[in-house]
Amino acid sequence: MPRHAILVIDMLNDFVGEKAPLRCPGGETIIPDLQKLFKWVRGRENDDVHLVHIQEAHRKNDADFRVRPVHAVDGTWGSDFIQELYPEEGEYIVKKRRHSGFAHTDLDLYLREENIDTVVVTGVWTNVCVRSTATDALANAYKVITLSDGCASKTEEMHEYGLNDLSIFTKVMTIDEYVAAWERGEDPWLGGGDRENKVE
């Protein structure tokens, strides 16, 4: 059977909510769907689906601030998780300083230690950190799933462009479709990617 890690990317105070300096308005709309997903994962008897929280946590003079506003500085309120989706004890947290959750972090080591074969991406922004993390997951030979209603971007157009690109190399599906596949005993990733080069 497959083993999945659901990566919850940057659902942090500096990205989600009216006071967020890099606010992703869609981030507020996906909270209820992600809460439903969290409840399902946390209620499972098996450990074949993990919740992994990806936390942007920059140093004060981070190179990222050469091109983006100052945000999510490690140890600040802005870098902390929103209360609605706060990690529970035992759920792994990966701090990152670049767009991808894999870049200069121990995410790949954690996944290999836990025998994870499939990475499931959620969070913000679809076309930036979600896409970058999914790209690196594929580069590290993981199967990748994108939960379309578990991701959001600054605008709906950015979100849709991101999903279109992600559909080339991931399985794009809704949270309900993902859960239903597990409940049927199926591997949700089957049929992923664009092997016939149909995406435009």
Measured between alpha carbons, how far is 117 from 1 in angstroms, rounded to an integer?
10
pTM of this structure:
0.96
Q: Report if residue 199 sits inside a domain.
A: no
Overall domain count for the chain: 1
Q: Sign of torsion, CA 149 155 160 162?
A: negative
| Residue-level pLDDT at 69 | 86
In a domain, 117, yes or no: yes
Q: Is residue 171 part of a domain?
A: yes
- Measure the CA–CA gap between 95 and 157, rounded to whole angstroms: 28
Joined together, the tokens standing for residue 84 give 């609605």
pLDDT digits (tens, 9 = 90+) for 156-186: 999 999 999 999 999 999 999 999 999 999 9
What is residue 116's predicted lDDT score, i.e. its pLDDT? 98
Range of the domain at 166: 4-8+23-54+99-184
With contact defined as beta carbons under 8 Å apart, do 24 and 152 qualify? Answer: yes
CB 117 within 8 A of CB 129: no
3-state helix, strand, coil in the chain (%, to 5): 35, 20, 45
Helices 156-166 and 131-139 cross at an angle (nearest 10°) of: 10
103: domain CATH number? 3.40.50.850
pLDDT tens track for 38-86: 999 999 999 999 999 999 999 999 998 999 888 999 999 999 999 999 9
Q: What angle do CA 82, 6, 15 make, to 5 degrees?
A: 30
